[in-house]
Amino acid sequence: MAKKILLLPGDGIGPEVTAVSRRLIDFLATEGIVELQVDEAPFGGAAYDLHGAPITAATIETALQSDAVLMGAVGGPQWSGLAYDLRPEAGLLKLREAMDVYANLRPAFCFNALAGLSSLKTELIAGLDILFVRELVGGVYFGQPRGIETLPNGEKRGLNTHSYTSSEIRRVARVAFDIARTRGNRVCSVEKGNVMEAGLLWREVVTELHAEEYADVELSHMLADNCAMQLVRAPQQFDVILTDNLFGDILSDIASMLTGSIGMLPSAAIGKPGAPGLYEPIHGSAPDIAGKGIANPCASVLSLAMAMRYSLERPDIAIAIEQAVGAILTDGQLTADLGGSASTQDIADTLLEAL
C-alpha cells in the first residue's frame, strides 16, 4: 500500500521550500521510485487567515492518518497580535501534542564545504556531528496550571509549570540510547538538577534506564548552563545530547548556529514505533526574504530525507537525497544565506538532475 505524506507548507518561506520537496516527491513518484500519496493543507498563519485557527481538526485528523508530515515553517509579524491559542506557533504545539511526537531529533553537523561560515574557529568545528534528542511534548511548554492571573492586590502573575513523569522521561531517553548505539555510542543527558527537582528526577530516571538496559552506551550528565558553554568551547566532545523541551530548544539552536549553515539543517519528531513522524527544517519562516525566490530549500529536502528514513521505510532514498545535497555544496551552488547567489529554483533543478 502507498505510504501517505501530508505537506504543511505554512508561512513565510515555508511554501517556497516545501514546494521543492514536493517537486522531488512528484519526480520520484513519476519515475516509479516511490509510491506516495501526497496531501497538502494550510497551516499556521495561513490556516488562521483561511479558517480562523492555526490548525483545523480535519488537518490534525489527516496528520494522524498519514505516515509522515512534512512542515515548512510557521509565523510572521502579521499574526503576532493574536490571542495565545490562535497564533501560528500554537498550531505547531497543538500538532506536536496531538501526534504525540515526543522525541525531537535535531542533528547539528558541519558540511565541510561550509565550515568557513561558522562563527567558531575552523578547528573547533571540523567533524562536528551532534544529534540532539529533545523531549517535545512535555515540560514547561505544556504543563498545567499555566496562564496570567490577576492577584488580589491588582498585580498580575504569569505562571507556567515545568513537569515530567518518569515514563515521559524514560520513553525519550530510550530513543536517545537506541540512536546512540547506531552512532558514537555516547549520550550526554542535560538538565538543571542543581536547582530544579524535575531535573533531579530526569537524571535519576535516565541513570536507572541506562543501568537496566543500556550499560553498553557511555552515559554522562551535564548541567544545562555548562552544556551551553561546552557547545561553544568544544562542541566536538558531544555525540548524542538528551534533554528536555525548553533546554533542547535553546541548546539545539546554539549547536545549529555553530555549524554556520542553519538553513541546511533538518529535524524529525517521532513518537511511538509505527506512529507518524513530523519533519521540519530547523530554520524559521524568515518573513524578510519570503516571496523572493531565494530561500534555501536544503533543510526541507533533508527533512524529507529524514522522513524517508524514519517513517517511510526508504532509507535508500534518504541516502540518495543526502548525497545529492552534498554534491550541490561541493559544486559551490549556494543560496544567499550561504553567501552564494543561487535561487531556490536553481537548487531544485540541480537536485532533480542529481537524482
Ligand X SMILES: CC(C)[C@H](C(=O)O)[C@@H](O)C(=O)O
Cβ burial of 192 (10 Å; 0-12, 13-18, 19+) is buried
68-73 and 3-10: which strand pairing?
Answer: parallel
Residues 103-142 that bind a second copy (CB under 8 A): 119-121, 124, 140-141
- Can residue 87 be called a binding residue for a second copy (CB under 8 A)? yes
Position of cell 532514498?
A: 317
- Can residue 33 be called a binding residue for a second copy (CB under 8 A)? no
Which of residues 233, 237, 292, 331 is near a second copy by CB under 8 A? 233
- Can residue 178 be called a binding residue for a second copy (CB under 8 A)? no
Residues 6+ apart with CB under 8 A from 165: none
249 catalytic, yes or no?
yes
For residues 289 and 309, the answer to whether their CB atoms sit within 8 Å is no
Cα torsion at 112, 117, 122, 128 (round to 10°)?
A: -50
What, of ligand X, a second copy, none, does residue 164 touch, CB below 5 to 8 Å by kind? a second copy
What, of ligand X, a second copy, none, does residue 146 touch, CB below 5 to 8 Å by kind? a second copy
Nearer to a second copy, 123 or 353 (CB): 123
186 appears as a binding residue in the annotation = no
CA atoms of 171 and 137, how far apart (whole Å): 12
Nearer to a second copy, 145 or 274 (CB): 145
67 catalytic, yes or no?
no
Residues 6+ apart with CB under 8 A from 134: 103, 104, 106, 243, 244, 245, 247, 248, 249, 252
Which of residues 146, 183, 272, 292 is near a second copy by CB under 8 A? 146
310 catalytic, yes or no?
no
| Chain centroid, CA 287 distance in Å | 19
Q: Which residues are catalytic?
A: 141, 192, 225, 249, 253
Binding residues for substrate: 96, 106, 134, 225
Binding interface with a second copy (CB under 8 A): 75, 84, 87, 89, 93, 119-121, 124, 140-141, 146-148, 151, 155-167, 192, 194-202, 205, 224-226, 228-229, 232-234, 246-247, 249-251, 253-254, 256-258, 262
